[in-house]
Amino acid sequence: MSQKPSWRDDKRKTAERGYGGRWQKARETFLKRNPLCCFCEQKGIITAATVVDHKIPHKGDTTLFWDTNNWQPLCKTCHDSTKKIMENRGVKLGADESGKPTDPNHHWNK
């Protein structure tokens, strides 16, 4: 079964995809206001955020791209591993003390 092409496969330059000077300024401001990785914080770990992640992948939608409510601060490790797994699986990672997945969309919670 073939997967749909990802916006990440887009061969245009970074600036052509919206990540130019305006983005760099907005990113810098956001990370100054939100300096810690929110995924690490949930685990009680203090890690500097270096990536502004789009909670909902924008897939080229400029409104969603610039919606700061759709941004979250992540460290590179969480962005490149945890977030990627979540996007590929379509569920949030994590479990409560009993081992039950915290994502209401997880198949164990249906």
The reported pLDDT for the residue numbered 81 is: 79
Give a yes or no: residue 54 inside a domain: yes
Instruction: Give the C-alpha separation, 91 to 106, whole Å.
Output: 6
Give a yes or no: residue 2 inside a domain: no
Number of domains in the chain: 1
Give a yes or no: residue 6 inside a domain: no
The reported pLDDT for the residue numbered 15 is: 52
For 36-91, what is each residue's pLDDT tens digit?
999 999 889 999 999 999 988 888 899 999 999 999 999 999 988 776 767 666 55
Give a yes or no: residue 7 inside a domain: no
Q: Tell if the pTM clears 0.85, that is, is over it.
A: no
Helix ranges restricted to H, 1-82: 21-33, 38-42, 62-66, 76-77
Residue 103: HSE in the Cβ half-sphere, 13 Å Cα cutoff:
11
- Whether the CB-CB separation of 40 and 47 falls below 8 Å is answered with yes
> Higher model confidence: residue 96 or residue 28?
28
pLDDT band, residue 1 (cuts 50/70/90): very low
Give a yes or no: residue 51 inside a domain: yes
Give a yes or no: residue 78 inside a domain: yes
Domain range for residue 25?
Answer: 13-109
Structure tokens at 46: 């203090």
Instruction: Give the C-alpha separation, 63 to 77, whole Å.
Output: 27
